[in-house]
Amino acid sequence: MPTDATPTGASLEKKQLAVGTRDATDLYIIRSGKAGPVVMIVGGVHGNETAGYRAARIVRNYQISRGTLLVLPEANSRAVNQGVRYVSGQKDLNRCFPTSSSGAADTRLSREIYYTLKKYNVDWLMDMHEGYNYSRLNSSSSVGQSLIYYPSSSTREVASKIVNNMNSGISTSYRKFSLLRYPTRGSLSRAAGQYLGVKSFIFETCSRDSLSTRLNYQLRAADILLGSLGMK
């Protein structure tokens, strides 16, 4: 509910995607009441990547000073509930999004997530993920501790700012974040950047760090993004 500290015209709306299915999940729409960018932050695409969905749950309670913030904390709610990457019989949600400009997402859930980007004219997308190893140790098998963006000059500028901020507090070289390009095909971030023109990136922490450290990284990255846009 609005409080005395809530900007005039601000509102919080909760909607459900994939209503009436086992994959139903909540979308939070935080409006500042002032003109500005539209940012979407997603967690829980993989249900065993704990820091991502826990951080997104915190972000859903943010107040912003301008623009609109969409938060999908548990994109794959069934997988989150079971603590698995995706449940038996499901396709990996991070491979369910369009792989061509005329293509469609594979499932009702992925179609509704993708439609949300278009419906709200999302400008920026941050997809919170985790890898099981540090990318600087073995990037061919895991991209933990990295930011993977779809190339554009403005996306690179913010992405570099996030990575530099993270690395300034990390002394061990292999634990530092890497700045990578081109999210994997079929991912939400890749489809959003390539086919919708959204400034998009995946932010990956590493599950070898403590949960509190990973949460801190995820939230700092979200705060830097929003702060760069004058929203926080």
Q: Is 145 left (phi over 0), alpha (psi -120 to 50) or beta?
A: left
Show the 3-state SS of the chain. Answer: CCCCCCCCCCEEEEEEECCCCCCCEEEEEEECCCCCCEEEEECCCCCCCHHHHHHHHHHCCCCCCCCEEEEECCCCHHHHHHCCCCCCCCCCHHHCCCCCCCCCCCCHHHHHHHHHHHHCCCCEEEEEEEECCEHHHHCCCCCECEEEECCCHHHHHHHHHHHHHHHCCCCCHHHCCEEEECCCCCCHHHHHHHHCCCEEEEEEEECCCCHHHHHHHHHHHHHHHHHHCCCC
Per-residue pLDDT tens over the stretch 5-24: 445 689 999 999 999 999 99
- Tell me what the mean pLDDT of segment 160-180 comes to: 97
Report CA 122 to chain centroid distance, whole Å.
12
- Tell me what the mean pLDDT of segment 31-37 comes to: 97
Q: In the chain, what are the domain boundaries?
A: 11-228
pLDDT of 3 reads: 40
pLDDT of 141 reads: 83
Query: Which residue type, as a one-letter code, is found at position 216?
Result: N
- Tell me what the mean pLDDT of segment 169-186 comes to: 97
Give yes or no for a contact between 56 and 128, defined as CB atoms under 8 angstroms apart.
yes
Per-residue pLDDT tens over the stretch 120-167: 999 999 999 999 999 999 877 899 999 999 999 999 999 999 999 999
pLDDT of 8 reads: 60
pLDDT of 152 reads: 94
Look up tokens 């695409």; give the residue: 45
Per-residue pLDDT tens over the stretch 67-120: 999 999 999 999 999 999 999 999 999 999 999 999 999 999 999 999 999 999
Residues in the chain: 232
Compute the distance between CA of residue 198 and CA of residue 34 in angstroms, rounded to an integer.
21
Give yes or no for a contact between 71 and 41, defined as CB atoms under 8 angstroms apart.
yes
pLDDT of 140 reads: 76
Q: In the CATH scheme, what is the homologous superfamily, with its name and number, of domain 11-228?
A: Zn peptidases (3.40.630.10)
State the pTM of this model.
0.94
Compute the distance between CA of residue 193 and CA of residue 114 in angstroms, rounded to an integer.
12
Q: In Å, how far are 44, 163, 202 from 106, measured between CA atoms?
A: 18, 32, 20
pLDDT of 6 reads: 47
